[in-house]
Structure 1
Amino acid sequence: MSANPLAPEWLVHPDDANALTPAVWPPSADRDGAGAITVAGASLTALASEFGTPLYVVDEQDVRTRAETIKTLFNEAFAALGSRVDVYYAGKAFLCTAVAKWVVEAGLHIDVASGGELAVALAAGVDPALLGFHGNNKSLAEIDRSVGLGVGAIVLDSVVEVDRVSAAAEKHGRVQAVRLRINSGVHASTHEYLATAREDQKFGIPLADAPAVVAQIRASKNLRFLGLHSHIGSQIFESAGFAEAARRLLAVHAELLKDGEVPELNLGGGFGIAYTSADVVTPIASIAADFARVVSEQCAELGIPIPIIAIEPGRAIVGHSTVTVYEVGTIKDVRVDDSIRKYVSIDGGMSDNIRPALYGADYTVRLANRRSDSDPALVRIAGKHCESGDIVVHADYLPGDVAPGDLVAVPATGAYCWSLASNYNYLGRPAVVAVKDGAARVIVRRETEADLLSRDVGVTA
């Protein structure tokens, strides 16, 4: 059967609509003898029956392995240069106490961007010295708490924060380590909302202003300047933007060394992952080698020592670890010109995955509870919310006999799905289940109607 003309150009008509593209799914994903998808040896059909749907299913070992691998590859690349790399897990991607423990046990630090994320990390028993606190508008209370706890580094995002952090450090009798976030002006190749170093934007300070702000930091006896910080965006596939940002920052880094120590340089991250078979991802080993080469060459040209490097891989650690399982409710064949698009409505939607509505993000979908030899049909996976833009998968192929009651699974939902989830239309946020060696355990429980009503004072009264 030929491809549906309504399908986007990148979407290839599959020979087998049951196949799981390795680059998109967790490495442990497979189908069992009954045709059901399994993750880490656990059947998604059995998990849906036990824990309900929608359901986030996260492969614990995959998270641990990716965290350890990224740390190892970057440190191997920089060890030859006489330096090391500190890897920060992005709490904003997905954070709960279990995940915080996994990444710290893998040797990573954690980047938090709010008092709530800080509270989760602390509840997990994470040493505050392993935390970095980020954000363009940290409250006075957040700054005070972070300094008082001994957070390892605070990223200053504006000039006003120099005095705010300094005052908090003086109050607590501490010398607080800080980084200065720079807007490098590098335009990352990603969605406009994910590019964070363009000139007209809320994050950081202009590169040209860095020397003056660093002088202000150094003038405070309560602050210790660690180095510059850059983050050009998220879901980035090519390394040219990182290389250019590194060159620009190292030039200023060299100037700052003339007046004091600059022990490190944070080059950010936001490495992209594959959400569909059309996404071509640069291997982490290649990214690490590129980073090391650019830093080495630039430091040699400037005649400066290679600093400690910090990176923030973002979704590359947790994104592929998770699949979301839904139950199919209704199906509609919608005629568009002379073609049919099959709308498959599920029991979740933009409340558990806002990325397609927010960024136009594409995802993959597969029938999860069985295998089918039916001819592939072009589908659009639609949520149950009162929005026409409530789409989870814009376009993919499922077996044409997909029916109400079937389960479908959407992979690569580990990052920015649960963390961006909402209660739109008063849907409770799904549970998160961790699977390992065939066993499953809830790490975040499902929200109930009682949870949803608990803050309504008209109910509690």
Structure 2
Amino acid sequence: MTANDYYQTNTQGHLIIGGVDALELAKKFGTPLVVYDVQKIKRQFQAFQNAFEKEQVDYAISYASKAFATMAIYQVINKLGGHIDVVSGGELFTALKAGFPAAKISFHGNNKTPDELLMAVQNHVGVIILDNFTEIKLLKRILKQTNTRVQVMLRVTPGVSAHTHEYDQTGQEDSKFGFDIRSGQAEQAFLQVKANPQMELIGLHAHIGSQILAAEGFKLEVEKLLKLVNDWKQKYDYQPRVLNLGGGFGIRYTAQDDTLTAQTFISQIVQKVKKCAQASHLKMPAIWIEPGRSIVGEAGYNLYTIGARKEVPGLLPYVAVDGGMGDNIRPALYQAEYEAVLAEKPHAEPVETVRLAGRYCESGDIIINKLALPKSKPGDVIAVLATGAYGYSMAANYNRVPRPAVVFAENGQAQVVVTRETYADIVSHDRFYQMEG
């Protein structure tokens, strides 16, 4: 499939996002600009919902908000009836500020601070997902001080490594996340939690990686987790109410990405859980998943304005834009690949191959290494596709460049949901150094 299968145009032939002309978006809100097609977000979330409903199991879809965390996205997920997971006090504060129900929030993280845990307890989050022994001790102390009881899950590392970038793998034994199964750490954590009447262990959690394009890793994860559950059933008469299998469902960034539909992923996962549970005479648990990238990734677009062009004899020309690694660090960090089109004529035949370069003072600030483009000129608007996950959420002020605005577009209307930073914002936390003498 080509990039053309993933965007729409209007009668003028311009790229449209959420029914709005991309050129008009760039003109009205400026560039660089992050734009989300809200209907795409809703359709993908509902695809997961429909897949679970078809399988007739108890479930929860918990949006992994580290992919993109703003009040606006939390409002959308809430209207869809979803859960969310957060990994910091900042994400938790944002969700609560957006009016998201605390009972549907899961709190993740491999190094939650005492203040963050207290914040979660005081705001009655739905479940705290315990990641290490230090955290168990911290939470035990906080619960005693506050005379509170909370629901918890144990994050375990099942020894399953997803076939993704090294930094995207989280389920293998050598990981900073979770309690290892093979060494017995998971069982030690289980016993500590079960001995504490202020912690209600509702289930197990595991996450095997990101940008996963096949279901085999999830099936192996299910086998490992339900083997552990069966062991604990025999030894301790314990069965979890919830099996949280994490997220990591891959999306289409380029034509080389052969993705599975939500229906295919969920069907294969649920059938595997049913089979393993039945074989070991276990109760069928509720199945939770944590999609993030697969909810917002393909719904996002980064709009840039083309500026300088550098010609190098015998090499690809460099076409520079007004954004780059400050608003999308994934190409520099992960060697992530994207596709892009000219917003004015996305269907035009390419006439050259260029390097799409960012504006930041790093040689590695290359957004796309080889991009086939029609003839372009300074001032043209270029749209990088499928940038909705881990772009804005990892944005930074390197070179003291303000972060872009974020716009939600739907049904031909567009609204700013995050305002563009100003130079004044950049220095707002700076303080003069008062020297003596």
Find the counterpart in structure 1 of residue 213 from structure 2.
237
Choose which of 262, 279, 283 in structure 2 pairs with 1:284.
262
**Counterpart secondary structure, 1:21:** helix
Cα pair 2:59 2:286 within 8 Å, conserved: yes
Partner Cα separation in structure 1 for residue 346 and residue 207 of structure 2: 43
1:57 aligns with 2:57: no
Cα pair 1:453 1:459 within 8 Å, conserved: no
Partner Cα separation in structure 2 for residue 298 and residue 456 of structure 1: 57
- Equivalent AA in structure 2 for residue 31 of structure 1: T
Choose which of 6, 15, 19 in structure 2 pairs with 1:41.
19
Instruction: Specify every segment of 5 or more residues in structure 2 that has no aligned partner in the other structure, as ranges.
Output: none
Choose which of 14, 21, 28 in structure 1 pairs with 2:4.
21
RMSD: 1.7
Cα pair 2:158 2:171 within 8 Å, conserved: yes
- Equivalent AA in structure 1 for residue 357 of structure 2: A
**1:460 shift after superposition:** 12
Partner Cα separation in structure 2 for residue 257 and residue 249 of structure 1: 12
Partner Cα separation in structure 2 for residue 404 and residue 277 of structure 1: 28
- Equivalent AA in structure 2 for residue 186 of structure 1: V
Instruction: Specify every segment of 5 or more residues in structure 1 that has no aligned partner in the other structure, as ranges.
Output: 1-11, 13-18
1:217 aligns with 2:200: no
Choose which of 284, 289, 294 in structure 2 pairs with 1:306.
284
Choose which of 77, 100, 108 in structure 2 pairs with 1:103.
77
Percentage identity across paired residues of the two chains: 39
Superposition pairs of residues 10-159 of structure 1, within 5 angstroms: 20-22=3-5, 25=6, 29-77=7-55, 79=56, 83-159=57-133
Find the counterpart in structure 2 of residue 178 from structure 1.
152
Cα pair 1:132 1:151 within 8 Å, conserved: yes
Partner Cα separation in structure 2 for residue 460 and residue 428 of structure 1: 27
TM-score (norm 1): 0.90
1:366 aligns with 2:352: no
Partner Cα separation in structure 2 for residue 232 and residue 379 of structure 1: 36
Length, aligned pairs only: 431
Partner Cα separation in structure 2 for residue 157 and residue 133 of structure 1: 10
Cα pair 2:350 2:372 within 8 Å, conserved: no
1:386 aligns with 2:393: no
Cα pair 1:148 1:169 within 8 Å, conserved: no
**1:74 shift after superposition:** 2.1
Distance of aligned partners of 1:369 and 1:173 in 2 relative to their CA distance in 1, 3 Å threshold: same
Cα pair 2:3 2:339 within 8 Å, conserved: no
The 4+ residue runs of structure 1 with deviation greater than 3 A are 370-375
Partner Cα separation in structure 1 for residue 343 and residue 261 of structure 2: 28
**1:300 shift after superposition:** 1.4
TM-score (norm 2): 0.95
Please list the CA deviations of residues 223-267 of structure 1 after superposition, one character each: whole Å capped at 9, or x if unmatched: 000111100011110111111011001011122234234211111
Find the counterpart in structure 2 of residue 250 from structure 1.
226
1:296 aligns with 2:279: no
Partner Cα separation in structure 2 for residue 20 and residue 376 of structure 1: 16
